[in-house]
């Protein structure tokens, strides 16, 4: 079932279409756009992702001395040991820490605090407070593997 449409002018000849076909125009524009992008990619200089760093120059190596390590152990009953020497009380701990804190930072020994697993937290906190109060900068906790984590 089709419908028969007659010409308005009455001619049997079809009319010429006066519309412009946009397909070739679009193709040409896309080719020009791609060429422009390729030229931009080629001409843009590559960015360098570098960070300027002042690296030491090779030369004679300086002697690196091993750091002095002081081990402060805290026993289960709260007794504080300074390199296996029992200290008489908190005043003795403060005096030793004051001596270490008075040294220049480069000369300060490393203070390793090693509390016993059963030591009272108050005794450990008193030693840590003494470290902070007296300006000891090189301090670390040793023996943390004994605590469940």
CA–CA dist 143, 116 (Å, integer):
8
Percent of the chain at pLDDT above 90?
52
d(CA 3, CA 37): 51
* Predicted confidence (pLDDT) per residue in 89-140, tens digit: 999 999 999 999 999 998 899 999 999 989 999 999 999 999 999 999 999 9
pLDDT at 37 over 60: yes
Q: Domains, the chain, ranges and CATH?
A: 69-144 (3.30.420)
Are the C-beta atoms of 109 and 102 separated by less than 8 Å?
no
Are 70 and 100 within 8 A, CB to CB? yes
Q: What is the pLDDT of residue 3?
A: 55
Give start and end residues of each alpha helix (H) in 44-120. Answer: 90-101
If one compares 145 and 70, the residue with the highest pLDDT of the two is 70
How high is the pLDDT of residue 79?
A: 94
In this structure, the strands spanning 110-115 and 85-86 are unpaired
Q: What is the pLDDT of residues 47-59, one digit of tens each?
A: 666 777 887 777 7
Which has more pLDDT, 14 or 69? 69
Q: What is the mean pLDDT of the chain?
A: 85
- Closest to 131 (Cα-Cα) out of 93, 79, 89: 93
- What is residue 73's predicted lDDT score, i.e. its pLDDT? 94
Nearest to 126 by CA among 118, 115, 137: 115
């Amino acid at each position: 079932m089709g419908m028969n449409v007659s010409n308005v002018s009455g001619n049997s000849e079809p009319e010429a279409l006066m519309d412009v076909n946009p397909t070739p125009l679009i193709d040409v524009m896309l080719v020009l756009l791609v060429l422009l992008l390729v030229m931009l990619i080629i001409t843009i200089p590559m960015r360098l992702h570098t960070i300027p760093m002042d690296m030491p120059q090779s030369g004679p190596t300086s002697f690196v001395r091993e750091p002095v390590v002081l081990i402060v152990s805290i026993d289960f009953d709260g007794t504080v040991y300074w390199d296996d020497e029992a200290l008489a009380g908190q005043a003795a701990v403060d005096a030793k820490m004051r001596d270490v804190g008075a040294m220049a930072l480069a000369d300060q020994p490393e203070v390793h605090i090693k509390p016993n697993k059963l030591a009272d937290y108050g005794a450990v906190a008193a030693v840590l407070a003494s470290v902070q109060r007296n300006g000891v900068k090189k301090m670390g906790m040793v023996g943390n593997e004994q605590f469940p984590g």
